[in-house]
Amino acid sequence: MSNDQIKNPLHGIKLATMLEELYLEYGWETLGQIIPIKCFQINPNYKSSLKFLRTTPWARAKVEKLYLEMIRK
């Protein structure tokens, strides 16, 4: 395993896990306010949100950043 992965706090954490924990912490409405993307604002659910986040790097980066902020609290 490379040193980069050892130092990466997201290593081994699935996107689905991040999304679930963010949802449990904030709820869809607050997530949609913090990260204003349609998959959190209009009829949000795990499946469609995961599909969007997996194919949209800039949105995934925002979710990862928010997740890191949440776990550092």
Joined together, the tokens standing for residue 38 give 């349609």
pLDDT at 48: 94
pLDDT level of residue 18 (50, 70, 90 thresholds): very high
> Domains (ranges, CATH) in the chain?
13-71 (1.10.720.30)
Measured CA to CA in angstroms, residue 13 lies from 19, 20, 21, 32, 49 at distances of 10, 11, 11, 22, 17
Joined together, the tokens standing for residue 64 give 């990862």
pTM attached to this predicted model = 0.86
pLDDT at 9: 82
